[in-house]
Structure 1
Amino acid sequence: MSAQTPACQLLERQQDDYTALMVVAPPVDAWLIAQSTGVISSDLSVLSEWQAAGKIAYSPFALPENAVTHGEVVLFWPKAHQLGIWWLEGLCNVLPAGTAIEIVGEHSGGVKRVPKVLAERGMICDKRDNARRCSLFATRTIALENTLQAAWQRFEALGLTLVSHPGVFGHGKVDEGTLLLLESLEKELPKTPQRILDMGCGDGIISAWLAKRGHTVTAVDVSAFAVEATRRTLEANKVDGQVLQSDVYSALESETYDFIISNPPFHQERDVSYGPSQRLIRQAPERLANRGRLIIVANAFLPYPDLLTDAFGSFEALADNRRFRVYGAGKSGR
């Protein structure tokens, strides 16, 4: 469990009665879990922490009408500004007009833009506190036109139609590392259909690219937004694939794969976090079929060579453009 975050320190010093607190898009924080009644989050790892504590946990895509009926609501402003707006407008759509909401976040994550966001929507804004390089604002919901579907963005790349959402990795563009990875896959993958796991599928570009080439694809991501984006991308390209919300391998059964492909994340909001990538690499050998291979792309400075050596005994650098590096490692060598 992580130490108390600055935003939660700011909340705690309010000395409010948070016994009926519903938190939206929060970090994992022991104090917050203990104080709150429940959580609404797109992140499966966050939902799991609240569930493990016996608390209510909802995905934004499976939110019952009575999810928030009383008590306080606190929205943690994300670093993706448009995602913050999506959450705010979503709360205005599911909560009765006049419901009190607090919005908290770190200055480095853009929370100082919240007063302007509220003013543009005709919502009140009361600045409650400012400390720990964080700010806390109070507002009330108003009746807004439901524009949540408009947040989904479609764009063309590499002969594919991609569907993305604010907060999804690479939103609205193709990441340079992903392009380098796909160039490597063109050379590395057999032409015959393979069983491939796309770990951390994002907007589904890798999955759609693979499915177009006849491979059997399973795509997973910890984010509900990414899972929905990948489903929409596969549908837009008229290709099939299994898409699951999973914290690394958590939702997968005992099936093995010929290839595991990934552009793994190393950020969790503004913090560097290697945890998911470490689990991806360390557990890959048991998830690969005989002679199966793991192929990943990463920023060149990240400490993946040691992890790959520990897990597989050896690895190859398949491509390197100085900023990004593509690694390959086989279960029984090449």
Structure 2
Amino acid sequence: MSAQLPACQLLERYYGQAARLCPVAPPEDTWLLTHSAAMVSDNVALRQQWQASERLAVSPFEPFDYLPEGQVVLFWPKAHQLGKWWLEWLCHVLPDNTPLDIVGEHQGGIKRVPKMLDELGMSCDKLDNARRCSLFATRTVKMEAPESAWQTFDALDMRLVSHPGVFGHGKVDEGTQLLLQALEETLPKKTLKVLDMGCGDGIISAWLAKRGHAVTAVDVSAFAAEACRRTLHDNALDGTVLESDVYSALEGERFDVIVSNPPFHQERDISYGPSTRLIDEAPEHLNAKGQLILVANAFLPYPERLQRALGGFETLSDNRRFRVYRATK
């Protein structure tokens, strides 16, 4: 079996079929899984895939108490500051002078890595390039746990905490603002059990908790879940925050309202998978007369899916760029 993605194809070309790797922040690629003993990822869905194949898969927010088998390879993310966080984290958790390779696509910013390594006092050797990707080698140097990437900002009369790579990092996006306006106008003034699906840095969760609702927040990203926890904490608000691949961590649990600003991008590709599951499986997680309220770009094909899953919907807001939909069980 050959690698499918360009960065993995470069690794296959360089390491060969005898490769034994420990990827960090990897993409989904069967060749990579087959040739790896363990992995580290913020993505709980990807970790569950690896665990199902009897591979060790851990979150960067879990205690890191093992030495990886095989060559550690960091897949460079498109968010430059997120890449820096991963570098600092690896330098913090791995022994000094551990070999570390870094791979990524040219359009994703991998060419900036040598300069960043130099700024961090780390060595840099170029090993290979192909498929519009490059592979660099370095070694870890001792560093403190990375905290500088966390960003705090004020919005909507709250203190919000964000991290590179989390949707809407450092700001409240237009769609979320439209959604919150619609919620202000339509939610009853009583305590509701609410699920914030795809919580990001916790803007919606904190807004709901501040108004007295019992909030459960979920996100596939460990960075998002941790940002949401910090946002709730910094505002002295209560809420349950879980890492979850859509509803995977919520078996049997039902809510009065499910709220979401669902993503439709997977890196640079459009992906409707999570949004489709959000809508299709909503009836199983809503109480009687429960509501699914979501905001989406106006061009996205959600109305038809809402019609099929819940038998109808209404448009609460429409500013031509975004629409807020409500469907009732």
Report the TM range for the smaller structure's normalisation: over 0.9
Q: 90-99 vs 285-294, which deviates more?
A: 90-99
Deviating above 6 A after TM superposition, structure 1's stretches of 4 or more consecutive aligned residues are none
Q: Of the candidates 308, 326, 332, which is equivalent to residue 306 of structure 2?
A: 308
The answer on 1:131 being equivalent to 2:130 is: yes
SS for the counterpart of 1:302 is coil
The 5 Å alignment of 1:134-173 reads 134-144=133-143, 146-173=144-171
User: What do residues 274-331 of structure 1 show as CA deviations (whole Å, max 9, x unaligned)?
Assistant: 1111000000011111111100011111111121111112111111112111111111
Task: Tell me by how many angstroms 1:143 deviates.
Answer: 2.1
Aligned length: 328
Q: 1:154 to 1:63 in 2, by over 3 A?
A: same
The answer on 1:51 being equivalent to 2:51 is: yes
What is the one-letter code of the residue matched to 1:211?
Answer: A
Question: Partners of 2:245 and 2:94 in 1: how far apart?
Answer: 29
The 5 Å alignment of 1:212-227 reads 212-227=210-225
Report if the CA contact (8 A) 2:36-2:70 is conserved. no
Q: 1:19 to 1:132 in 2, by over 3 A?
A: closer
The answer on 1:190 being equivalent to 2:188 is: yes
Q: Of the candidates 241, 247, 263, which is equivalent to residue 239 of structure 2?
A: 241
- Unaligned 5+ segments in structure 1 are none
Question: Partners of 1:278 and 1:109 in 2: how far apart?
Answer: 27
Note the aligned Cα RMSD (angstroms): 1.5
Report if the CA contact (8 A) 1:97-1:142 is conserved. yes
Question: Partners of 2:195 and 2:309 in 1: how far apart?
Answer: 18
Q: Of the candidates 320, 323, 327, which is equivalent to residue 325 of structure 1?
A: 323
SS for the counterpart of 1:296 is strand
User: What do residues 233-292 of structure 1 show as CA deviations (whole Å, max 9, x unaligned)?
Assistant: 111111111111110000013121110000001112222211111000000011111111
The answer on 1:38 being equivalent to 2:19 is: no
The answer on 1:201 being equivalent to 2:204 is: no
Question: Partners of 2:214 and 2:274 in 1: how far apart?
Answer: 24
What is the one-letter code of the residue matched to 1:122?
Answer: G
SS for the counterpart of 1:47 is helix
What is the one-letter code of the residue matched to 2:95?
Answer: P
Q: 1:12 to 1:183 in 2, by over 3 A?
A: same
SS for the counterpart of 1:198 is strand
- Unaligned 5+ segments in structure 2 are none
Question: Partners of 2:13 and 2:316 in 1: how far apart?
Answer: 51
Task: Tell me by how many angstroms 1:95 deviates.
Answer: 1.4
Report if the CA contact (8 A) 1:78-1:105 is conserved. yes
Task: Tell me by how many angstroms 1:28 deviates.
Answer: 0.9
The answer on 1:80 being equivalent to 2:86 is: no
Task: Tell me by how many angstroms 1:17 deviates.
Answer: 6.5
Structure 1 partner of 2:99: 100
Report if the CA contact (8 A) 2:315-2:325 is conserved. yes
Task: Tell me by how many angstroms 1:147 deviates.
Answer: 4.9
Q: 202-211 vs 261-270, which deviates more?
A: 261-270
Question: Partners of 2:33 and 2:154 in 1: how far apart?
Answer: 41
TM-score (norm 2): 0.96
Q: 13-22 vs 242-251, which deviates more?
A: 13-22
Report if the CA contact (8 A) 1:79-1:270 is conserved. no
Structure 2 partner of 1:287: 285
What is the one-letter code of the residue matched to 1:308?
Answer: L
Question: Partners of 1:92 and 1:153 in 2: how far apart?
Answer: 21
What is the one-letter code of the residue matched to 1:176?
Answer: E
Task: Tell me by how many angstroms 1:125 deviates.
Answer: 1.4
What is the one-letter code of the residue matched to 2:45?
Answer: S
Report if the CA contact (8 A) 2:75-2:102 is conserved. yes
Structure 1 partner of 2:6: 6
